[in-house]
Structure 1
Amino acid sequence: MTDATRSEISLKVNGKTHRLNVDNRRSLLDALREDTKHAGPKKGCDFGQCGACTVLLDGKRVVSCLTLAVAADGSQVTTVEGLAADDDLRPVQEAFLRLDGFQCGFCTPGQLCSAVGVLAEHRAGWPSAVTSDVSPDHRCRLDAEEVRERMSGNLCRCGAYPSIVRAVLDAAEREEVKR
């Protein structure tokens, strides 16, 4: 007899496949932290309001505390531990370090994953709530106002926002130069 409250799922976390038997109500955050032992995503509020649990799900940022693990079945999950490739930091990680984009560090994993998502969304031409021209052929400029709006779902209790904004803008410039 099968248990209708549990499901077998498969998650590819930072390149490694994990097969899990989870309660259907289990959050992706809890599955990542407790079942796959990825401590990067933090449980800040557990209500999707602080962004400390932000991860990339198939390349798009999500708050993992509000995402059911069963809904992520078959997906690629990138946590902060999976952002660097062979110890080569991404431009956004380097910028956070160089420009003091963190203080206590609790929110930093979510901030970094969100910043990677923000940069990808901007490259793809996605507008934000403050983008003035949302026509398909318009390419908005990534400025401090855009970064603040796009990163607004990630709270920092220490108030490192000015440095976070500078780091995201710096990373965007460095990525643009590489292309």
Structure 2
Amino acid sequence: MDGIEGSDGALSGVTRRTALGSTAAIASSLMLLDGEVEAASVKAPPSDMALDIVPVVNGRATPVTIDPRTSLLDLLRERLGLTGAKKGCDHGQCGACTVHVDGRRVASCLTLAAKSDGRQVTTIEGLADGDRLHPMQQAFIDHDALQCGYCTPGQIMAAVACVREGNAATRPSIREYMSGNLCRCGAYVGIVAAIEDVVAKGRQA
């Protein structure tokens, strides 16, 4: 039967098809309204919310005006052109975005750029001394501690911090304190060997 029977036994003229169509139309309207509300809620902040900061990036004071919501990773990559730190998971779980702030490693995707004001920020671009590679960079090359290279900048920054923190005395310790940096290519053996080499030769700067 196409129609719906009323209490008097007559067909009301409403079919399943029209009922479903009406329901779908209402749902679509609600979704569009939801989208409009969401779009309104994420509008750029007024210009008076702009924030002036002066992080010291790789030894150079760098005045910049930012949106207070900007992550340190986006500041480095999108505003300062320092693309060594990679955007991997964007949730602080892969370590590809590792940089140093005042000598301590941080996940720059989870760190607000505003917190870097007046602080020392070191990226992979700031490790080498001109054309002379940092000992850890050289060790990664010597031990084939990379394949695709996407995670390598973060791995090297974490490795440098691992040694400076005094957590590279044993192989298990290295593995534990490097566990926040993932390598999808599986170059872990080379990474551990590179760190051990730097420690053994006392080459850490």
Map Cα deviations across residues 81-121 of structure 1 (whole Å, 9 max, x no partner). Answer: 11011222222111100000111000000000011111110
Q: Bigger shift: 63-72 or 141-150?
A: 141-150
Q: Which residue of structure 1 lines up, in the alignment, with residue 179 of structure 2?
A: 152
Q: What does residue 171 of structure 1 align with?
A: 198
Task: Quote how far apart the aligned CAs of 1:4 are.
Answer: 5.0
State yes or no: 1:72 paired with 2:99.
no
Report matched runs for 1:80-159 at 5 Å: 80-122=124-166, 142-159=169-186
Query: Gaps spanning 5+ residues in structure 1: where?
Result: 128-140
Aligned residue in 2 for 1:6: 50
Q: Which has the higher strand share?
A: 1
Q: Distance in 2 between matches of 1:70 and 1:153?
A: 24
Deviation at 1:3, TM superposition (A): 4.0
Residue 71 of structure 2 is aligned to residue 44 of structure 1: no
Query: More relative contact order in 1 or in 2 (CA 8 Å, sep 6+)?
Result: 1
Stretches of 4+ moved more than 6 A in 1? none
Moved more, 156-165 or 166-175: 166-175
Q: Does 1:162 align with 2:189?
A: yes
- Residue 22 (structure 1) aligned with residue 66 (structure 2): yes
Q: Give the Cα separation in 2 of the matches to 1:41 and 1:99.
A: 21
Tell me the distance in 2 between the aligned counterparts of 1:74 and 1:16: 11
Instruction: State percent identity of aligned pairs.
Output: 51
TM-score (norm 1): 0.84
SS state at 1:77 partner: strand
| Higher relative helix content | 2
Task: Please tell me whether Structure 1 or Structure 2 has the larger radius of gyration of its CA atoms.
Answer: 2
The superposition leaves residues 63-88 of structure 1 with CA deviations (integer Å, 9 ceiling, x where unpaired) of 10000000111111111011011222
How much is the aligned-residue C-alpha RMSD, in angstroms?
A: 1.7
Measure the CA separation in 1 of the matches of 2:92 and 2:49.
24
Structure 2: 5+ residue stretches without partners? 1-45
Question: What is the aligned partner in structure 2 of residue 135 from structure 1?
Answer: none
The code of the aligned residue for 1:44 comes to G
The number of residues matched between the two structures is 160
TM superposition score normalised by structure 2: 0.74
Letter in 1 for 2:50: R
The whole-number CA distance in structure 1 between the counterparts of 2:198 and 2:65 is 38
State the Cα deviation string for residues 127-174 of structure 1 (Å, max 9, x = none): 6xxxxxxxxxxxxx7111010001011000100001100101111112
